[in-house]
Amino acid sequence: MIKRFFKYLANLKLAIVILIVIALLSSIGSIVEQSKDILFYQKNYSTLIFNIPFWKILLFLGFNNIYSTWWFLLLLGILGLSLACCTILQQLPTLKFSRRYYFYKQVNQYKKLTFKIKAIKVFPSHLSYTLLKKEYSLFQQSNSFYAYKGLISRLGPIVVHLSIICILLGSTVGALKGFNSQELIPKTEVFHIQNVIKNGFFSLIPQKTFRINDFWSIYNSTGSIKQFYTDISILNGDGTETQRKTISVNNPLLLSDLIIYQTDWGILGLRLKFIKKNISNISLQLPISKINISSQKIWISSLPDIKEDKKNFILLIKDNRGQISLYNNMGKFLRTINIGDNIYQTNSLSLNLIDIISSTGIQIKSDPGIKLIYFGFFFLMLSSLISFISFSEFWLLYFPTKAIAGGKTNRAKVKFNLEFLKIKQSFFNL
């Protein structure tokens, strides 16, 4: 029964059906946003289906995180087991059979061959030399010849199966042991991995310490942001720096088990200095709020009333280049100020802008199965190249008064036909 079960798993039709199901589920995962919070699904999938909100159905079936659900991982496991059974029970025996040399000693055996020659006489020694020169492996027994080349192409299907198994295994390991964290950290701050947005069942969050030394961005001539940069350090338990790198978009920091990406940026607040005669200077930190207008980020804040003349101001920031637009409480634009400028000044007091407190968006990702996935894709490409090699075979049976030869190939049949014609013209007396 066990042998019959494994033979059933090695069925090509079963593997194709499982692959189609996985493809359909993956397409659902590309349509339904993955790993969002519940409020997102409640807002975007509020349609009622049989008096049940659609978002509840999505969460119940696991469509909000398809690639980590137990049933999706089970399908990957069944597909991998099917490919392994097919490799062991079918592909390896086929390779072993292809390595055997066997002779056609009956004339009737040549009738099924695609390419055939019938002649009166053949020159065996010259033919043998030519076949060996064309990289054929040659075997002779009495008055029979057998030759083949391109046996490595028989490894193609085996390598394909092993590659797919590696990819499936790597994906499963990544889903079970990987995690994804997103942090928004101010400049000069020390932080740990805390805001985990996605993790597997067996994930372990490393207790590493990081420090954001600096963050800046460069701009195009049009004023749009060209690139973000974050200078980040990894600290040990004593606070000593062990590694440091300036990361940017598409240039992450690679650790042994973590990848740190530059993803976003933000503004957390403003630092102000309040200067008044006969009173020591007072430093203030002003909170700021973010508003989204189409694809543009804007931060807005307001200054409290200045009691001497009851004035207050609205501050508007569009980027972190240090420029702030200043408006009065009626929304009228007053002027643009930079870091170090006075926001308000009289004979007895002044209010200065000291700094813009910016933050950098960092994504910390762990995927223990990524090496297996890369390994699988590398050998998948290699197997594709191997599969283009033709496996060609040649047989010869000769007698004192007649000779018959034939051959076949699984690919490049036109090339093999031309090669066969040259052999026919050179070594056979027709």
CA triplet 44, 48, 53: central angle to 5 degrees?
A: 65
Residues 335 and 368 reside in one and the same domain: no
Residue 338 burial by Cβ neighbours in a 10 Å radius (0-12, 13-18, 19+): exposed
Q: What is the pLDDT of residue 217?
A: 84
Q: What is the pLDDT of residue 252?
A: 92
What is the number of structural domains in the chain? Answer: 4
pTM, rounded to two decimals: 0.68
Residues 248 and 189 reside in one and the same domain: yes
Quick: pLDDT tens for 19-77.
899 889 888 888 888 878 788 888 888 888 888 888 888 888 888 888 888 898 899 88
> 404 near 107, Cβ under 8 Å?
yes
Length of the chain: 430
Rounded CA-CA distance 175/29 in Å is 14
Rounded CA-CA distance 301/316 in Å is 7
**Segments in 32-69 forming alpha helices (H):** 38-44, 54-61
Other Cβ atoms closer than 10 A to 155: 18
Task: Judge whether 105 lies within some domain.
Answer: yes
Task: Judge whether 159 lies within some domain.
Answer: no
Residues 352 and 271 reside in one and the same domain: yes
Task: Judge whether 51 lies within some domain.
Answer: yes
Q: What is the pLDDT of residue 294?
A: 63
Residues spanned by the domain of 409: 101-150+390-429
Residues 253 and 376 reside in one and the same domain: yes
Task: Choose one of 69, 89, 109: the last residue of a domain.
Answer: 89
Residues 209 and 252 reside in one and the same domain: yes
Q: What is the pLDDT of residue 322?
A: 66
> 228 near 262, Cβ under 8 Å?
yes
Residues 8 and 66 reside in one and the same domain: yes
Residues 182 and 192 reside in one and the same domain: yes
Q: What is the CATH number of the domain that holds 420?
A: 3.30.310.80
Quick: pLDDT tens for 175-228.
888 898 988 898 888 999 988 888 888 888 888 899 999 888 887 877 677 888
For helices 70-86 and 12-31, the axis angle rounded to 10 degrees is: 150
Rounded CA-CA distance 180/45 in Å is 24
Number of H helices, E strands in the chain: 10, 25
> 150 near 392, Cβ under 8 Å?
yes
Residues 39 and 66 reside in one and the same domain: yes
Task: Judge whether 396 lies within some domain.
Answer: yes
Within 205-288, strands assigned E span 209-219, 225-235, 241-248, 253-254, 259-276, 279-287
Task: Judge whether 414 lies within some domain.
Answer: yes
Average pLDDT over the chain reads 84
| Residues of the chain where predicted confidence (pLDDT) is lower than 50 | none
Residues 6 and 27 reside in one and the same domain: yes
Residues 260 and 294 reside in one and the same domain: no
> 66 near 101, Cβ under 8 Å?
no
Structure token pair of residue 330: 């009626």
> 361 near 264, Cβ under 8 Å?
yes
CA triplet 173, 179, 181: central angle to 5 degrees?
A: 165
Residues 374 and 226 reside in one and the same domain: yes
Task: Judge whether 337 lies within some domain.
Answer: yes
Task: Judge whether 160 lies within some domain.
Answer: no
Residues 368 and 232 reside in one and the same domain: yes
Q: What is the pLDDT of residue 218?
A: 84
Element (H, E) at 306: none
Task: Choose one of 56, 89, 122: the last residue of a domain.
Answer: 89
Q: What is the pLDDT of residue 277?
A: 66
Task: Judge whether 165 lies within some domain.
Answer: no
